[in-house]
């Protein structure tokens, strides 16, 4: 019996991986590691230095291409889940919409890190005359394990009465991020006379996956659309979000979200870190997305806690008997893909797909 136990110990030691919880020195160290790993995956020794800044048209085209690729990934995941019995749902949410100059008190600014209120004028001068602020809050039914297929913002009561001009009117949509509500370009689209809605899929998808309770958008129109807005008719705008949800997959994700770090008593959990490409100085060559949530698996793996296999259970039991044998490691169990639109080392605009970038669940292995 002793011989068998010793042999098992040796096997586990030979297959061991150093899985001690990371002693992070703060977000700065983590961001440096993330930057290094992304560059290595892209085959770059250092961030490219663009010879010239992209013009607004090129940025908008790149943003549009990014949305197409992100939507394609969502469709592919939805098709995979359909084979597993995925359920399609249509959510109707009610956001708040104000003209920028009519924003009620309490919504006009954001508090900085010292708790001071930043006024609207302090944030930024208006980019257009017809500017609106939209605020959306998360609901109990609109939870984070939903897979967003598309999102349409229905703003108009009647077809637009547009002037006959050679340049079609447009709306440019910004997400307002950070404590100061810094505008980040989402995309721009033409206003069609018979189209009652705006495509905001690119804003809804990352918001649903992230931890924020509210989503703040700025809508900048090139023409006066106030008479056609539903708010002019005493009604509220409606956001229609089509989602795909597989009950079994949703249950697995829900369990993973419930065990995020801070709720798991130091046991194997998901640790989230928001990576803003603007904040890390990469906004001149990473075109989309503006930011994403990087997740890490860390924490202890006590016996029978989220075991990945029978091997992990045995490994944990042997470790409890002899500390010479390594414990199971807290490692990723599932991923979601992510697409990055960026300039390469030669200044060309390219897209890169990372199949294993976004951790959605952890287990002990």
CB 178 within 8 A of CB 125: no
pLDDT of residue 163 exceeding 80? no
- Asked if residue 81 is part of any domain, the answer here is no
Q: Cα separation of 327 and 299, whole Å?
A: 12
> Is there a single domain that holds both residue 331 and residue 310?
yes
> Is there a single domain that holds both residue 166 and residue 305?
no
CB 276 within 8 A of CB 177: yes
Of 104, 95, 39, nearest to 286 by C-alpha is 39
**Which tens digits make up the pLDDT trace of 19-42?**
644 444 457 787 888 899 899 989
Region 97-112: mean pLDDT is: 59
Q: Cα separation of 244 and 75, whole Å?
A: 9
CB 249 within 8 A of CB 84: yes
The alpha carbons of the chain give a radius of gyration, in whole angstroms, of 24
Model confidence band, residue 282 (pLDDT cutoffs 50, 70, 90) = very high
Tokens of 145: 């394990």
> Is there a single domain that holds both residue 238 and residue 252?
no
CB 249 within 8 A of CB 263: no
> Is there a single domain that holds both residue 231 and residue 207?
yes
**Which tens digits make up the pLDDT trace of 106-140?**
554 443 333 333 433 333 444 557 899 999 988 77
- Asked if residue 2 is part of any domain, the answer here is no
**Which tens digits make up the pLDDT trace of 212-266?**
888 999 999 888 888 888 888 888 889 999 887 766 555 555 555 556 777 667 8
> Is there a single domain that holds both residue 175 and residue 286?
no
CB 207 within 8 A of CB 184: no
Q: How many domains does the chain have?
A: 2
> Is there a single domain that holds both residue 94 and residue 239?
yes
DSSP letters for 119-158: PHHHH---SSSEEEEEEEE--SSS-TT-EEEEEEEE-BSS
pLDDT for 132 equals 92
* Entry pTM: 0.51
pLDDT for 84 equals 56
Region 79-91: mean pLDDT is: 68
Q: Cα separation of 345 and 325, whole Å?
A: 45
- Asked if residue 95 is part of any domain, the answer here is yes
> Is there a single domain that holds both residue 307 and residue 318?
yes
**Which tens digits make up the pLDDT trace of 322-342?**
888 888 999 999 888 888 999
Beta strand 291-298 with 269-276 is antiparallel
Q: Cα separation of 258 and 337, whole Å?
A: 22
Angle between helix 56-83 and 201-209 (nearest 10): 60
Containing structural domain, residue 137: 87-104+126-245
> Is there a single domain that holds both residue 184 and residue 324?
no
CATH (domain of 288):
2.10.90.10
Q: Cα separation of 330 and 316, whole Å?
A: 12
Model confidence band, residue 16 (pLDDT cutoffs 50, 70, 90) = very low
């Amino acid at each position: 019996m002793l011989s068998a136990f010793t042999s098992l110990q040796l096997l586990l030691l030979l297959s061991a991986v150093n899985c001690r919880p990371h002693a992070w020195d703060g977000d700065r160290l983590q961001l440096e590691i993330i930057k290094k790993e992304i560059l290595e995956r892209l085959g770059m020794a250092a961030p490219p230095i663009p010879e010239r800044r992209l013009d607004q048209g090129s940025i908008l085209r790149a943003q549009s291409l990014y949305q197409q690729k992100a939507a394609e990934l969502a469709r592919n995941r939805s098709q995979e889940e359909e084979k597993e019995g995925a359920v399609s749902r249509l959510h109707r949410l009610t956001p708040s919409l104000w003209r920028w100059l009519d924003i009620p008190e309490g919504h006009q600014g954001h508090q900085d890190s010292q708790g001071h209120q930043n006024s609207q004028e302090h944030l930024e001068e208006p980019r257009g005359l017809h500017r609106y602020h939209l605020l959306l809050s998360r609901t109990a039914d609109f939870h984070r394990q939903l897979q967003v297929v598309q999102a349409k913002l229905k703003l108009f009561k009647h077809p637009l009465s547009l002037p006959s001009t050679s340049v079609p009117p447009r709306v440019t949509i910004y997400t307002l991020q950070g404590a100061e509500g810094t505008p980040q370009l989402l995309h721009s689209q033409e206003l069609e006379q018979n189209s009652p809605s705006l495509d905001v899929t690119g804003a809804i998808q990352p918001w649903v996956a992230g931890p924020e309770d509210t989503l703040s958008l700025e809508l900048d129109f090139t023409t006066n659309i106030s008479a056609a807005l539903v708010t002019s008719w005493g009604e509220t705008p409606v956001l229609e979000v089509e989602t795909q949800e597989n009950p079994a997959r949703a249950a697995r994700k829900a369990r993973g979200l419930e065990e995020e770090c801070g709720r798991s008593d130091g046991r194997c959990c998901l640790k989230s870190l928001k990576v803003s490409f603007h904040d890390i100085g990469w906004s001149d060559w990473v075109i989309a997305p503006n930011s994403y949530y990087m997740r890490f698996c860390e924490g202890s793996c006590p016996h029978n806690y989220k075991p990945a296999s029978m091997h992990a259970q045995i490994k944990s039991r042997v470790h409890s008997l002899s500390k010479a044998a390594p414990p199971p490691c807290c490692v990723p169990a599932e991923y979601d893909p992510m697409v990055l639109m960026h300039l390469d080392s030669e200044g060309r605009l390219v897209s890169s797909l990372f199949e294993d970038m976004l951790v959605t669940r952890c287990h002990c292995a």
